[in-house]
Amino acid sequence: MWKDWLSFSRREQYGIIALSSILFLLVILRILMAISWNLSEIKVDKDASVLIERNEKDNEGAEEVQKDKPKYAFKFFDPNKVTVTELDKMGLPYLVIINWMKYLEAGGSFYHPEDIAKIYGLDSILAQELSNYVVFSENKNSNENRSNNHFKSASIHTSVGRLSGENHRTISERRPASDIDTFIVDLNSATAEDLKKIKGIGNVLSQRIIDFRELLGGFYDREQVKEVYGISKELYENINHHFVINTGVYRKISINRASIFYLRKHPYLNFYQARDIIEYRKKKGYITSKQQLKSIPSIDEETLKKLLPYIDFSVDKQKIED
């Protein structure tokens, strides 16, 4: 009788086999799903760790960039009247300063603060930050100049009466020819007003000489004046007898502590030469002689000759000059 309970018909046997197969497949599927989920979790954890590590590296890189970033000392200025000295004191790259002066000399003008972005070599971010300090003082200065010129004219030409500031003659123009011809100035202490007393030097050239002197750190030879933009060989021959140098170079470059930003500001050094000087110091230590400086491949003989009067080889000070 028990055999009747344990015996199955063929149809029932097929049903049991099918049900067992389904259960087996469900178990296998469950196992595969569990493995797949574990792999996903591992991948997510791995990706997160990679992102964290990358973020830390980016932060470190940002800190390094911040350290190497040049320091600026922005001040309010008129972009149409700014001088080389003023731009240099604000910390702008030398290439930008040169292009700025060339733009003004070519007759260019700025009408809006954002116009300074047209200067070649001026980074867009730097231009945007610098534009916050732009102040146009044309009207104010024009009124002041007219007032001052009128006062000078009235005091000098009291017998003539009221004259306009733009038409009055300067003191130097009314000097006897013999006094003008024998007029002597020290190139390293002369003001723009002193230089303008020399025939052939006006407002523009006198300011360029002053600006070039400031970038150099002083003149050591009268012939350096020929390097000023706008002074031709003929003009120099006519005016050089007015120049003397009594004080010599007044600012030198500490070659062992100057930064790359400080070095490349000098008219006799370009960016690559400044970079090579820094690399030489890192690899071989202090530069204490002319021979060591000469061994730097990018420093040619002509550059070395012009640069030597401005070099301080001392190593006693360790602070980096910016």
Give the pLDDT confidence of 295-308 residue by residue, as tens digits. Answer: 999 999 999 999 99
Residues in the chain: 322
82-96, 135-149, 182-196: the lowest-pLDDT one: 135-149
pTM: 0.46
Mean pLDDT value across residues 244-257:
88
Averaged pLDDT score across all residues of the chain: 77
- List CB contacts of 133: < 8 A, sequence separation 6 or more: 74, 75, 76, 77
CA pair distance 278, 292, nearest whole angstrom: 13
Mean pLDDT value across residues 201-213:
91
Residue 30 has pLDDT above 50, yes or no: yes
Q: Tens digit of pLDDT for each residue in 112-149?
A: 888 888 888 888 888 888 888 888 875 444 444 443 44
Residue 211 has pLDDT above 90, yes or no: yes
CA pair distance 153, 149, nearest whole angstrom: 6
Q: Specify whether the CB–CB gap between 225 and 186 falls below 8 A.
A: no
Which of 142-146, 156-160, 236-240 tops mean pLDDT? 236-240
Q: 263 exposed, middle or buried (CB, 10 Å; 0-12, 13-18, 19+)?
A: buried
CA pair distance 285, 191, nearest whole angstrom: 40
Find the farthest-apart pair of alpha carbons in the chain and give their distance in angstroms, rounded.
Answer: 154
